Amino acid sequence: RVYKRQMRCRSDIDRLDDAFIAIVKSLIPAEEEKAKQQQLLTLLEKLIIKEWPKARLYLYGSCANSFGVSKSDVDLCLVMEEADVNKAEVLLKLADILQSDNLQNVQALTRARVPIVKLMDPSTGISCDICINNVLAVVNTRLLRDYARIDVRLRQLAFIVKHWAKSRGVNETYQGTLSSYAYVLMCIHFLQQRRPAILPCLQGMEATYSVTVDNIGCAYFDQVEKLSDFRSHNKETVAQLVWGFFNYWAYCHDYTDSVISVRTGSIISKREKDWTRRIGNDRHLICIEDPFEISHDLGRVVDKHSIRVLREEFERAAEIMQYDPNPCVKLFEPY
Ligand code: ATP
Ligand code: MG
């Protein structure tokens, strides 16, 4: 069943733009916070190099992809020389080292899906997770950051969407809703699909950056400063895009057959990916292809119950954007 309901955007949509921009501004971390994160990174690097001179520490996730709101946790990835180190061993050793240096709440979660050490730095108040050899995450962080450099509206839209998802309780992967990473990919895809397009498809262009990670070739055009003409054609405001984003996920997306794919800059079919049936726990009820690990559906955490929650939230948001006199308040009301 293809479920489509075309709506025309409310006529006073641009009246809302300043309010959305103000919300985005209030969410952007202060320079001071960035400096503190850097300070913590330097401290941790020093401790790590002492034990593993050839290891390197990378910032990834929202602190490095430019989609981080203020007071986000810091995601770090420790890259060891050998690819197949015993992660549990390294994490336990690392936890020891951190604890002896007075970092607080140090905890090694060696059995988690992505094993990590957690810690809190008492001098800056910043919490942080360190994982091991998760190089793909470092590379997809870089891709997201490069998309954000092309057009400021991506960052603005993603801030609004992430803020909405957190306020409405639909940014909880352990409850079957979507990760922040998935929401940012949804925003990128949405802007690639606008006509005229607001974002190009960087992986569809001549590769100027290319690495192989875990046997996966990751390549894309990263000289985005050369793409300034993309900015000029489409003049939609952030308010229009927020409206369009929720309208798309509420009424226009074909949940039965479609996979959104930032890698190709288009929609592809579930059949093509063989994502038509439930396999194990992967149900593919909303399909978001990872740009590099293309067998990976970021929607696979979504189950029969949470797909309803998600779709009801998209519809609620779309209705608010269409009819509510004050969407900038109503959209983010706690659930
Ligand atoms: P937040 O501001 O909510 O912390 P975040 O950008 O740090 O947002 P997360 O969803 O916590 O987003 O993910 C952190 C990083 O981990 C992402 O930027 C991405 O690089 C990587 N990541 C997260 N989930 C996946 C996944 N399912 N597959 C591949 N990489 C992922
Ligand atoms: Mg994070």
Question: Is any atom of ligand 1 closer than 6 Å to the C-beta of 119?
Answer: no
What tokens appear for 287 in the block? 């399909």
What tokens appear for 176 in the block? 């079957």
Q: Do domains 10-27+137-330 and 31-134 have the same CATH topology?
A: no
Mean pLDDT of the chain: 95
By C-alpha distance, which of 2, 5, 3 is closest to 247? 5
Closest ligand to C-alpha of residue 294 is: 1
Domain boundaries, the chain: 10-27+137-330, 31-134
Q: Among 3.40.50.1220, 3.30.460.10, 3.90.870.10, 3.40.47.10, name the CATH number for the domain at 31-134.
A: 3.30.460.10
pLDDT in tens, the chain (335 residues): 445 566 789 999 999 999 999 999 999 999 999 999 999 999 999 999 999 999 999 999 999 999 999 999 999 999 998 878 999 999 999 999 999 999 999 999 999 989 999 999 999 999 999 999 999 999 999 999 999 999 999 999 999 999 999 999 999 999 999 999 999 999 999 999 999 999 999 999 999 999 999 999 999 999 999 997 666 689 999 999 999 999 999 999 999 999 999 999 999 999 999 999 988 888 999 999 999 999 999 999 999 999 999 999 999 999 999 999 999 999 999 99
Which atom of ligand 1 is found nearest the CA of 179?
A: 10
Question: Is any atom of ligand 1 closer than 6 Å to the C-beta of 60?
Answer: yes
Q: What is the ipTM of this complex?
A: 0.96
Question: Is any atom of ligand 1 closer than 6 Å to the C-beta of 183?
Answer: no
Q: Which CATH architecture has domain 10-27+137-330?
A: Orthogonal Bundle (1.10)
The most distant pair of C-alpha atoms in the chain lies apart, rounded to whole Å, by 62
- In this prediction, residue 2 carries a pLDDT of 47
Alpha-carbon Rg for the chain, nearest whole angstrom, is 21
- In this prediction, residue 56 carries a pLDDT of 96
Output the CA 180–ligand 2 centroid distance in Å: 8
Output the CA 322–ligand 2 centroid distance in Å: 31
- Give the orientation angle of helix 135-150 with respect to helix 152-167, to 10 degrees: 120
